[in-house]
Amino acid sequence: MSTYKVPTMAEMAGKGETPEVLFWVGCAGSFDERYKAVTQAFVKILNKVGVSFAVLGPEEACTGDPARRAGNEFLFQMQAVANIQVMNGYEVKKVVTACPHCFNTIKNEYPALGGNYEVIHHSQFLQQLINEGKVALKGGGEFKGKKITFHDSCYLGRANDVYEAPRDVIKALDVELVEMKRCRTKGLCCGAGGAQMFKEPEPGKKDINVERTEEALATGAQAIAVGCPFCLTMITDGVKNKEKEAEIKVYDLAEMIAKDMGI
């Protein structure tokens, strides 16, 4: 019996090996009960396709994104510099991550601190695997013919101009992709960016995630696809708030692909 493998950079280095790509798991991917399923799904895909990858495991630390956006530059740089030391120590060249916040920080902000890597988001990675025919989609899975809407996360979309990769991944599933009124460059935030994930919202008349969820529900989709751990939490909470858990599910792209692959 062969099981899924999750090699760490330390283990591989011990064997004198270097993986092609480092999978940056992120804090939500490591600790969030719901979001761990996304990490597991992505790792299964990597195994199935035979991608040479490793994770940092216990050596990974928060990229520092929420600290930086909350104004604490010292803390951000402490985290960043420590992470860069670890990654440079393993001579990391390429990084893939499912979290747009980690993606943005490592790709755009680590170079100024000495961390230069090719960084891609898992939506782009999955798109490449699909285009190269490495992911064998069955197309007849539970999503076939269903209406799916995609929620653009700010740090993937506007922050880094990645709009089509996640949509191409969804379309590969033989589903009907329906767009919300505000999408792509005009996509509405889930409410969690800029460290809002870690505090209560300021006083207002409505929560942002509820506003966004209402828009998703208005499309009549049976599932909302996301590509960000914070968006997943916020939109899932929004669906609960509207008491629509029975009618509409919230998935990460990697989960949808893994489900279709039957893994």
Closer by beta carbon to other proteins, 110 or else 222: 110
Closest CA to 58 of 10, 119, 116: 10
Closer by beta carbon to other proteins, 11 or else 168: 11
Instruction: Give min distance, CB of 238 to other proteins, in A.
Output: 12
91 phi-psi bin (left φ>0, alpha ψ -120 to 50, beta other): left
Closer by beta carbon to other proteins, 127 or else 209: 209
- Beta strand pairing call for 94-97 and 118-121: parallel
Instruction: Give min distance, CB of 246 to other proteins, in A.
Output: 26
Instruction: Give min distance, CB of 126 to other proteins, in A.
Output: 18
Q: What is the Cα–Cα distance from 124 to 75, expressed in whole angstroms?
A: 30
Closer by beta carbon to other proteins, 33 or else 246: 33
For residue 115, the SS3 value is: coil
For residue 228, the SS3 value is: coil
Instruction: Give min distance, CB of 44 to other proteins, in A.
Output: 7
Instruction: Give min distance, CB of 250 to other proteins, in A.
Output: 18
Helix (H) or strand (E) holding 119, with range, is strand 118-121
Q: Which residue has the tokens 């943005």?
A: 104
Closest CA to 26 of 241, 186, 228, 177: 228
Closer by beta carbon to other proteins, 32 or else 168: 32
Instruction: Give min distance, CB of 95 to other proteins, in A.
Output: 16
Backbone phi, then psi, for 24, in 5-degree steps? -85, 110
- Name the token pair of 37: 């399923």
DSSP of 102-129: HHHIIIIISGGGT---EEEEHHHHHHHH
Closer by beta carbon to other proteins, 48 or else 167: 48
Beta-ladder partners of 24:
97
Closer by beta carbon to other proteins, 24 or else 222: 24
Instruction: Give min distance, CB of 123 to other proteins, in A.
Output: 15
